[in-house]
Amino acid sequence: MEVIAQTKFVRQTPRKLRLVAAEIRGLSALEAEIILKSLNKKGARLLLKTLRQGIANAENNFSLSKEDLKIKRLEIGEGSRIKRYRFVAKGRVYQILKRMAHIKIVLEGEEKKKKELVKKPKKERMSAPDKAATGKKHGTKS
């Protein structure tokens, strides 16, 4: 079962987030949470928030346990950019791009197997020759 958690328009450059994401790719959710708590970076805080969102989705929506979850895919995409300008000497202008990122975490876990109900055998219906043998005619009351 795959569980998806997304955070969009994060005010952090994708390049900086990818450095943190490389540390936790492919780990279990619990190990990744421990590593992100110990990293002293803004990107770690943002990834931790998205990871916890994915864990909560798995527990509440799909009844998966936290211990069984593993990071299957972790994508850091480019978001929109805010454009700012810096005025310099001789009437020139330098453009400053304030980049944003999109975070997408796909967690994978095993569903708990439910006990199957034991089905009772259905009663066999009498076929037309069997009804004739009992002496009952179709559509008549006796």
For 17-75, how does the pLDDT look when each residue is reduced to its tens digit (9 = 90+)?
999 999 999 999 999 999 999 999 999 999 999 999 999 999 999 999 999 999 999 99
- Is 142 domain-assigned? no
How many Å apart are CA 23 and CA 38, to the nearest integer?
A: 12
- Is 67 domain-assigned? yes
| Segments forming the whole domain that contains residue 94 | 2-111
Count of the separate structural domains present in the chain: 1
Query: pTM to 2 decimals?
Result: 0.74
Closest CA to 22 of 100, 74, 79, 99: 74
CA angle 107, 52, 30 (to 5 degrees): 70
* pLDDT classification of 121: cutoffs 50, 70, 90: confident
- Is 15 domain-assigned? yes
CATH number for the domain harbouring residue 10: 3.90.470.10
- Is 42 domain-assigned? yes
